[in-house]
Structure 1
Amino acid sequence: MRFFLLPKQEVVTVTQEATLRQTLEKMEHHRYTAVPIINHDGGYAGTVTEGDLLWFMKNRPGITFETANRVGLSEVPLRLNHRSVRIDSNMEDLISLAKIQNFVPVVDDMERFIGIVRRSEIIDYCQTIMQGAAAVEA
């Protein structure tokens, strides 16, 4: 799995202390629909999605983009539980999560966030395996 890991230094994340506005601006700037949330200990705390932010703002009519800097990300409920895996997990664990998540957060044995594995990397791996099997059969 280490081969597929995009290290945390290269991953766009937000902290639990971020504001709603900071989160929106970061996601817009990088054109991402979901980003990992990191807690104060460097651990993986969840994944926030555009949908989480939109539903939160819809259900709080007093919040505007201008006032979003007064709302903490910690107030936004996360609708989905994006699970992480440990660095020593197997490919089956990665594949099962990649079916339902755009990326799979990876943590070390101390539960600290160390990066992500993108769904596209897992699909490429599976495609390579399938092509190798097809070549052997032919």
Structure 2
Amino acid sequence: MNIAFFLLPKQEVVCLPQDATLRQTLEKMEYHRYTSVPIINNDGGYAGTITEGDLLWYFKNHGDLSLEQTNKVKLMDVPRRLLNKTVQIDANMDDLISLAKLQNFVPVVDDRNRFIGIVRRSEIIDYCQKLIMEKHKVL
């Protein structure tokens, strides 16, 4: 199965530039109600994923940080607990399934390592559910 079938293209993905501020990150995640968002570097490549947990740990470790001061903190200065792995567009479903166990979505890159979109965990689970259902129908 070609993973391009499951791809949510970059144009439809809420992303953050690597030079975004902590305030911009908070506002975008709140507005879209996302728990994690991909970060894109200046060359259009995938630079990582920021999660609510990363933000919470940052605030915990910087207890004196006010909401006003979040305009001065760069997103790339916020440590990330996990380094989400990417797949290339020609990856197989086994690669996606193994990554989706740990990630809300799997970032997809082209052969030049440019970010081209994501495959959501929910899409992968739906695919697996259909396979299981089809297998049970055969039995």
Is it true that 1:122 corresponds to 2:121 in the alignment?
no
Tell me the distance in 2 between the aligned counterparts of 1:119 and 1:54.
Answer: 23
Q: How many residues align?
A: 137
> Sequence identity, in percent?
68
Instruction: Give the aligned partner of residue 94 of structure 1.
Output: 96
Q: Report the residue type matching 2:30 in the other structure.
A: E
- TM normalised by structure 1 equals 0.97
Q: Give me the CA root mean square deviation.
A: 0.7
Instruction: Give, in angstroms, the shift of residue 62 of structure 1.
Output: 2.6
Q: Report the residue type matching 1:49 in the other structure.
A: T
Instruction: Give, in angstroms, the shift of residue 122 of structure 1.
Output: 0.5
Tell me the distance in 2 between the aligned counterparts of 1:120 and 1:50.
Answer: 19
1:13 alignment partner, one of 7, 12, 15: 15
For 1:67, what is the secondary structure of its paired residue?
helix
- TM normalised by structure 2 equals 0.96
Which consecutive residues of structure 2, in runs of 5 or more, have no partner in the other structure?
Answer: none
1:8-56 alpha-carbon deviations (Å, 9 max, x no partner): 0000010110000000000000000100000000000100001111111
Which consecutive residues of structure 1, in runs of 5 or more, have no partner in the other structure?
Answer: none
Instruction: Give, in angstroms, the shift of residue 57 of structure 1.
Output: 1.5
1:65-90 alpha-carbon deviations (Å, 9 max, x no partner): 11100111111011111111110001
Instruction: Give the aligned partner of residue 33 of structure 1.
Output: 35
Tell me the distance in 2 between the aligned counterparts of 1:24 and 1:115.
Answer: 21
Instruction: Give the aligned partner of residue 4 of structure 2.
Output: 2
Instruction: Give the aligned partner of residue 43 of structure 1.
Output: 45
